[in-house]
């Protein structure tokens, strides 16, 4: 454990392929609460597991009610210092793609091409039919929800429509898992940022990178599950740590 910012700068300068792996902590300064910090989303609401969402119309209604309640927060959020610093390294050609557990679309908003953001847990800024996979914008869902008082089903196949996120108990997206595995194996520097590293299988990627020979850096203001395997742990605010790399 160190404040290690200088060492991080040297590691970044030496590395040729850097893969960042981000969690909710990179977006807290943008006004989006994380899960596990005090005041985080979990202290307010128990997450609704996938099988419950499928089985119960009440659960679907509740899930959408919660999503609409937090909509203004997601809409107001803009990329923070951490997002901007990573986007600068991406533009400089140091980062081929980013792996994220976040669902907030802020890496795309900071300048990463859609195709270079590997989303392990999906994206909450649009919706998807769980049957046929058709995507919907949230306005479509909201309009129908408000008109009928209930979560709408797919206009085509009549299966439930859910935010395009991965709920507990839902299958991981295969293509994203494949790409994240490939990136973890290819990189020479893997930086886990703002994740408590307890949600599996996502939390397996730092170890995977390490086993493939990458150096591992963890940036988080609290201890994580995997600090002891890291080459460098920076236990400090993310924006303060990464901001100086882009001059703020």
46 annotated as ligand-binding: no
- Least distance (Å) between residue 157 CB and ligand NAD: 26
Tell how many helices (H) and how many strands (E) occur in the chain: 11, 9
- Residue 131, helix vs strand vs coil: coil
| Catalytic residue chosen out of the listed positions 121, 150, 158, 236 | 121
35 annotated as ligand-binding: yes
**For the sheet containing 122-129, what is the strand order?**
135-136, 122-129, 161-165
Residue 108 or residue 196: which is nearer to ligand NAD going by CB?
196
Measured between alpha carbons, how far is 81 from 78 in angstroms, rounded to an integer? 10
Measured between alpha carbons, how far is 90 from 108 in angstroms, rounded to an integer? 12
Annotated catalytic residue 158: no
Interacting residues toward ligand NAD by CB under 6 A: 23-25, 27-29, 32, 34-37, 40-41, 101-104, 121, 194-196, 199, 220-222, 237-238
Measured between alpha carbons, how far is 134 from 148 in angstroms, rounded to an integer? 21
CA 54, 57, 63, 68 torsion: positive or negative?
A: positive
187 annotated as ligand-binding: no
- Least distance (Å) between residue 149 CB and ligand NAD: 27
24 annotated as ligand-binding: yes
Q: Are 234 and 3 in contact (CB under 8 A)?
A: yes
Residue 132 or residue 244: which is nearer to ligand NAD going by CB?
244
- Least distance (Å) between residue 206 CB and ligand NAD: 11
- Least distance (Å) between residue 226 CB and ligand NAD: 11
Enumerate the active-site residues: 121
Feature table: binding site for NAD(+): 24, 28, 35-36, 101, 103-104, 121, 195-196, 220, 237-238
């Amino acid at each position: 454990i160190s404040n290690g910012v200088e060492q991080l700068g040297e590691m970044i300068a030496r590395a040729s392929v850097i893969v960042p792996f981000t969690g909710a902590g990179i977006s807290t300064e943008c006004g989006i609460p994380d899960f596990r910090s005090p005041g985080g989303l979990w202290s307010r609401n128990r997450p609704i597991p996938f099988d419950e969402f499928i089985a119960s119309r009440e659960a679907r209604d509740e899930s959408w009610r919660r999503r609409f309640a937090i909509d203004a927060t997601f809409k107001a959020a803009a990329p923070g210092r951490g997002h901007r610093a990573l986007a600068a390294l991406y533009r400089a050609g140091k980062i081929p793609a980013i792996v994220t557990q976040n669902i907030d679309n802020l890496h795309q908003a900071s300048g990463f091409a859609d195709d270079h953001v590997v989303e392990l847990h999906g994206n909450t800024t649009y919706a998807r039919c769980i049957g046929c996979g058709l995507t919907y914008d949230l306005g479509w869902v909201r309009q129908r929800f408000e008109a009928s008082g209930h979560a709408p089903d797919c206009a085509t196949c009549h299966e439930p429509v859910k935010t395009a996120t991965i709920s507990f108990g839902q299958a991981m997206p295969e293509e994203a898992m494949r790409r994240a595995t490939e990136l973890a194996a290819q990189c020479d520097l893997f930086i886990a940022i703002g994740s408590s590293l307890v949600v599996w299988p996502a939390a397996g990627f730092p170890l995977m990178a390490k086993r493939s020979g990458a150096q591992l850096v963890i940036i988080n203001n609290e201890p994580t599950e995997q600090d002891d395997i890291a080459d460098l742990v920076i236990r400090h605010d993310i924006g303060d740590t990464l901001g100086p790399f882009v001059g703020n």
